[in-house]
Structure 1
Amino acid sequence: MAAAHRARHWSFGGVVLVVTAALVAAVLISFSGSVAPRADAAVAAQTWSDEFDGVAGHAPDGAKWTLETGGSGFGNHELQYYTNSTSNAALDGQGHLVITARKNTDAGLGCWYGQCQYTSARLNTARTFTQAYGRFEARIKIPRGQGIWPAFWMLGNDLGTVGWPNSGEIDIMENIGREPNTVHGTVHGPGYSGAGGLGAAYSLPGGRAFADDFHVFAIDWSPNSIVWSVDGTTYKTLTPADTGGKKWVFDHPFFIILNLAVGGDWPGSPDGSTAFPQTMTVDYVRASSSGSAPVARPIRGIGGMCVDVAGASSADRTPIQLHNCTGNAAQQWTVGNDGTVRAFGKCLDVAGGSTADGAIVQLYTCNGTNAQKWTYTAAHDFTNVGANKCLDAKGNSSADGTRLQTWRCTGAAGQKWTLG
């Protein structure tokens, strides 16, 4: 994947000094004992945000952001010098933060290669906000041009003690200017960093350029998955199994970073076609607990059997069945306040959105349709919102391998489910 071409995206000169200063510990919020009916379920709690309201020309809120400085190349041979000047990062008075990359006019600014050619800005929340799990999103209008490299990403709060990539890195959105239609989502960890980073690319339909408008870039991060989306469309899910046995390091608080780089090993240098200045305009950055960061747990049905993803496959259309409870990832489900029931970062889905009795229940990429929304009732039914029918063990059977379906709600034992 294209994102794997880049080397790394951190700097001992900037971030580590910040990380080792004073990090705010994140509170991991989880489901308590039993799950309430949907009507009583908690609303997802916003834990941190910046809407960038303020007077035009003012610096971003110092109580939320630290501006890194320097021209070390940040591990990627980047060409810019990051400043703390409002010429490179300032509010626009219309509810936006504008990060601006400019040609440098200060002969006194030195970079790793000599006098700096460009200036820009890089902001992080390492001193002010860290969190494990939940939803992290930003609405951004990115810049354009060869050699331009905007990013919205995260690093582990233990960077200063364990180093990179052991601390973990989650790239929520990266773009390189020569790919105006495409963004990348990637993780880096021990044994899968740099060229071996794990992730995927997402391209806008119709060949549209991301720089033409604002888009919402997000991850939904739980103990057993990281799910990337653009404008609500999921395009990649990663689970611990995807590391090939290497350590999954996305199990502790991370902090947020926004930056606009110029040049570097992955995007290459600007050329004669690249116009300056270039701006990365951020409408908001938000973090939430994603409905109290639901904990992955088994769903048990008739005969004490567990709801199971057949073959532990994360492929779309994988059947859902009953299986002896083993505790493996194929039997770990999160019940979200958005009505979804998820394993491997994908959704419990009624095939084809069918409303018929006997419709197949499967695992499928989350798409926000009612075929993937469920109500867990006080009577211990899982009712599909689209069909108004119950999750049902076929034939009221508790046999290993019994397929699950939707059926009119009858109160039968094959339609009763408990969590945990």
Structure 2
Amino acid sequence: MARPRVLRRCLLAALSAVLVGSAAVGTAQADPAAAPAAAAAATFSDTFDGPAGSAVDSGKWQLETGDNVSNHERQYYTSGTKNAALDGQGHLVITARRENPANYQCWYGTCQYTSARLNTSGKFSAQYGHVEARMKIPRGQGMWPAFWMLGTDIGQVGWPNSGEIDVMENVGFEPSTVHGTIHGPGYSGSAGIGAPYSLPNGQAFADAFHTYAVDWAPDSITWSVDGTVYQRRTPADLGGKTWVFNKPFFLILNLAVGGYWPGDPDGSTSFPQQLVVDSVSVTTSGTPSGGKAIKGLAGKCADVAAGGTANGTAVQLYDCNGTAAQQWTVGSDGTLRALGKCLDVKDNGTADGSQVQLWDCTGGANQKWAISSANDIVNPQANKCLDVPSANSANGTRLQIWTCNGTAAQKWTVG
């Protein structure tokens, strides 16, 4: 099972205050008190859109720096974009290199490798929900990629009392297998409680993207790979030890090199190696199920502003988060519905630039939509397409209809 991993002392000091999800991303809320249902469900989504070579969103992630003597890992985690950067194709790439460009010093002497480790501590945390990452992992002896979580109270109670949920770990000598594990007081490190999941027929996880997830509820954590559930843990599995998972946790992504569990790289290991992350999302258990996301420009979703249900509430582009404000059903009558109301062209408009909104379903032609095989969403009355004005992918951009032109601003995927 997974060996312990602990944060560097400098980060532990920063965690001495109570950490909350201060940067949770969800539907826009000018006045949180006006939309309590939306505010109650902390959600997180990052699809890593941005120019090649750019840094991750600092509003969502921070980079840790330094080595990790506790596991005898070999890498030095760096800041900046040398080891963690966007690739311009909707991915975060964490790269492990055999190098030491700045004479970094590790627990064993001069460091031999660099890599990156990111977390959402102080920026986002959640308690319960569906937590997932779609990733393509590296390969080779000594590689140790992981997607995991730590309790936000680690600064007060330390590890393992904080709890650790390993959504996915892989050690390079097991190319076909990943592990899901929990660690807590009396069941940490090699005594962690978990299970492996292996691909059939010797397939390697490094050959393709896979989705690693947990469904986390009070007194229950369930692991899956590509939607296939392979284990569930409850307090009954702890033999009387303390369950420490009914509280907020933050997210961590990292690529370690070497350590007690994977062993060190050897002559068969090639560098650089990369952990390619396509998306990370958290949808809390308070989020209603049902319906489908309508995903468009920059991987963002059609969203009902602030989860409002009043007639005339704006429909906008926003980070996908799985809330009810982004759950749309396609009616047999040609409507698109969310929160019990219909996607409506304001004032029955047919001109370019007519805004769309949420409104009581009336059966009118301004609430009829056709989804084409070319991924257009067309209002037949106006013969115009659902459109993001000026191709502006900023959160809160209000949607409209416009003459169909085949641009990315008018391409939508339902589901």
Distance of aligned partners of 1:107 and 1:129 in 2 relative to their CA distance in 1, 3 Å threshold: closer
Q: Which residue of 1 aligns with 2:260?
A: 265
Kindly indicate whether residue 96 of structure 2 is the aligned counterpart of residue 144 of structure 1. Answer: no
Distance 1:274 1:27 in 2: 38
Give unpaired runs (5+ residues) of structure 2: 25-37, 292-415
Distance 2:143 2:244 in 1: 29
Contact 1:137 1:219 in 2 (8 A): yes
Q: Which runs of 4+ in 1 moved over 3 A?
A: 25-28, 336-339
Kindly indicate whether residue 227 of structure 2 is the aligned counterpart of residue 232 of structure 1. Answer: yes
Kindly indicate whether residue 53 of structure 2 is the aligned counterpart of residue 57 of structure 1. Answer: yes
Deviations along 1:24-72, whole A, 9 cap, x unmatched? Answer: 25899xxxxxxxxxxxxx9x96711111001110111111111000024
Question: Which of 180, 185, 190 pairs up with 1:190?
Answer: 185
Shift of 1:104: 1.4
Contact 2:219 2:245 in 1 (8 A): no
Q: Which residue of 1 aligns with 2:155?
A: 160
Contact 2:52 2:87 in 1 (8 A): yes
Shift of 1:22: 6.4
Deviations along 1:168-222, whole A, 9 cap, x unmatched? Answer: 0000000000000000000000011111100000001121000000000000000
Query: Paired residues, what number?
Result: 278
Distance 2:181 2:100 in 1: 34
Please give the secondary structure, in 1, of the residue aligned with 2:13.
Answer: helix
Q: Which residue of 2 aligns with 1:246?
A: 241
Q: Which residue of 1 aligns with 2:320?
A: none
Shift of 1:85: 2.6
Distance 1:107 1:88 in 2: 13
Shift of 1:12: 3.6
Please tell me the root mean square deviation across aligned C-alpha atoms, in Å. Answer: 2.3
Distance 1:112 1:72 in 2: 7
Contact 1:91 1:97 in 2 (8 A): yes
Shift of 1:144: 0.3
Contact 1:13 1:72 in 2 (8 A): no
Distance of aligned partners of 1:65 and 1:84 in 2 relative to their CA distance in 1, 3 Å threshold: same
Distance 2:54 2:160 in 1: 34
Distance 1:27 1:63 in 2: 7
Distance of aligned partners of 1:253 and 1:177 in 2 relative to their CA distance in 1, 3 Å threshold: same
Distance of aligned partners of 1:211 and 1:218 in 2 relative to their CA distance in 1, 3 Å threshold: same
Deviates more, 1:216-225 or 1:45-54: 45-54
Give the partner amino acid of 2:187: Y
Contact 1:171 1:187 in 2 (8 A): yes
Give the partner amino acid of 1:269: D
Distance 1:234 1:187 in 2: 16
Q: Which residue of 2 aligns with 1:134?
A: 129
Q: Which residue of 1 aligns with 2:206?
A: 211
Q: Which residue of 1 aligns with 2:107?
A: 112
Give the partner amino acid of 1:133: Y
Distance 1:104 1:287 in 2: 34
Give unpaired runs (5+ residues) of structure 1: 29-41, 293-335, 340-420
Distance 1:95 1:18 in 2: 30
Question: Which of 5, 10, 21 pairs up with 1:9?
Answer: 5
Shift of 1:289: 1.2
Q: Which residue of 1 aligns with 2:16?
A: 20
Equivalences for residues 61-80 of structure 1 within 5 A = 61-73=57-69, 75-80=70-75
Equivalences for residues 224-373 of structure 1 within 5 A = 224-292=219-287, 337=289
Please give the secondary structure, in 1, of the residue aligned with 2:81.
Answer: coil
Shift of 1:10: 1.2
Distance 2:18 2:248 in 1: 14
Deviations along 1:302-358, whole A, 9 cap, x unmatched? Answer: xxxxxxxxxxxxxxxxxxxxxxxxxxxxxxxxxx8369xxxxxxxxxxxxxxxxxxx
TM-score by length of 1: 0.63
Q: Which residue of 1 aligns with 2:379?
A: none
Deviations along 1:245-298, whole A, 9 cap, x unmatched? Answer: 111000100000000000000000000000000000000100001353xxxxxx
Equivalences for residues 375-386 of structure 1 within 5 A = none
